[in-house]
Amino acid sequence: MDSKKARICVPVCERSIAQTQMAVDRAASVGDFIELRLDCLAPSELDGNLDSIERLLASGGHFVITFRPTEQGGLRELDVSSRVRFWLLNSHSKAEFLDLELDLCTNPALFNWSELPDWKRVICSHHDFVRVPHDLQDIYQQMTATPAHVLKIAVRADDVVDCLPLFSLLERARSEGREMIAIAMGNAGLLTRILGPTRGAFLTYGALDGLHATAPGQVTARELRQTYRLDTLNRETNVTGLVGLPVSHSVSPHMHNAAFATTGFDGVYVPLEVHDLGAFFRRMVNLRTRELDWNLRGLSITSPYKRAVMSYLDSIEPVAAEIGAVNTVLIDSGGLRGFNFDADALAHSLAERLGELRALSCAVIGTGGMAHAAVYALTKQEAKVTVYARDVVKARALAKKFDSAWARLESADFGNFDVVINGTPLGTTGPLQEVTPATAAQLDGARLAYDLVYNPCETRFIREAEAAGCQTLGGLSMLIYQACAQFLLWTGREPPVVAMQAAALDALRME
């Protein structure tokens, strides 16, 4: 196996030997290692079928076998004696690695350490599906006291800053000459799965497909290799990403990574799930205070941080300052600079559909960063704008800022408007997907309903508008326009628009 290639391990967790064999055949085409989760097998399938498992292991490929108790993420209630008995029976397995939990590895009374197991084949692992434990360094220290060849720690991340202790462990292991796997589980931990190999991680984990993830936040092996181009990444790779909450629905990683691949630019774009914006900028972004040595080049900013992010920047370009919202950050020798490309992208995509925007009657629903950009763009085009929101104070403030009208959303009638824009996150894939800011009855008579939400392609707002007989426009074209502007800013290269659009459409079709 190429030592320079990023290794991806695909877990297989099936109830029967037959299903396991079929899954192994599929996993071999997308992964470098295959983890056989033998605790997933039904007891009747495992007992008495060790010969079948060994024949499978002898069929070729690099295998890791595990037998996890429930407290370590397994599917069985297993006491220590049954686990020890299992490993004694399987100590001479043809698997390349045996994954034993820390409590077994640190208790020499359980095995004859001079004979069992073969420590050169042992991965000593510890899992915490609840948190990042405060004593992570102590856990690592316990692991280093064992003769295990590879140390593995997997913990739950609730914020992208929770990845920092894992990267710290990888650096420590590298400096001490130990092989290490460090994974932050959950959507907030995706960064460790993508950048871990560039920090010396022995391997990373990717699911067989979207239905077979064995840990929270485990994306597919194919996505790691094709979308994030794991084999091309290194410590000097330019890192860009999407900051927001949530971010897992976004197709921006597909667009930007396709653009990097098409142009040959050494870059990667990753989702960054952030709960504490201040901690993220202090500990991971600010050049003077960040704790991670990475070549962070730029950030896309999405809901709910387009306005809040401004207080963490060194400078803000005039358009973004006038709008009062930032959707793009450039990180260079000039510090952290904020831009807003939403307004131009919105005006461009709307003009493609309607032509001249001057004097159009437009309703903008919402008062967040996207709504600010919409009102700014439309007033610059001399359209007549009315802001609608449930929060009267915010609606009045936004309208006053751009010399527009405002009204309460609850009693809104949009029948006399040329354009009605959903500038809120309502309708986005996830918990808000079936929520709409306006009904068909309210939209009846409007000419065009424009939803800035792009995922899903057909939102509840769009369906309500179609029921009212309105023309409709989704947010994908705007997303592509602003992504192209970001790519040009971060790389200095012309964006490959066709490749970016194709990647976005492919990603949406896979949803």
Catalytic positions: 306
Q: With beta carbons less than 8 A apart as the criterion, state whether 197 and 170 touch.
A: no
> Per the structure block, which two tokens stand in for 280?
């993220």
Q: DSSP label at 6? A: P
Rounded to whole angstroms, the Cα distance separating 329 from 489 reads: 9
332 exposure class (CB count in 10 Å sphere: 0-12, 13-18, 19+): exposed
> What is the C-alpha to C-alpha distance for residues 304 and 44, in angstroms, rounded to an integer?
50
| Angle between helical axes of 252-263 and 476-491 (0-180°, round to 10) | 40
- In SS3 terms, 19-62 reads as HHHHHHHHHCCCCCEEEEEHHHCCHHHHCCCHHHHHHHHCCCCE
**The residue type at 229:** R
Give the whole-angstrom CA distance, residue 307 versus residue 301: 9
Nearest to 230 by CA among 207, 204, 249, 212: 204
Strand partners, 240: 269, 298
Residues in contact with 338: Cβ distance below 8 Å, sequence separation at least 6, in sequence order: 309, 310, 313, 315, 316, 317, 320, 326, 328, 329
Longest Cα–Cα distance of the chain, Å, equals 85
Question: How many residues are recorded in the chain?
Answer: 511
Query: 211, 228, 321, 212: which is closest to 267 by C-alpha?
Result: 228
Can you tell me the distance from the alpha carbon of 128 to that of 152, in angstroms, rounded to the nearest whole number?
12
What angle separates helix 164-175 from helix 136-144, to the nearest 10 degrees?
30
Q: Which two tokens stand for residue 354?
A: 């309607």
**Contact, 367 vs 389, CB < 8 A?**
yes
Q: Mapping DSSP to helix (H, G, I), strand (E, B) and coil, where does residue 276 land?
A: coil
Element containing residue 479 per DSSP (H, E): helix 476-491
* Contacts with 102 (C-beta within 8 Å, 6 or more apart), sequence order: 124, 125, 126, 139, 142, 143
Nearest CA to 253 among 300, 286, 217?
300
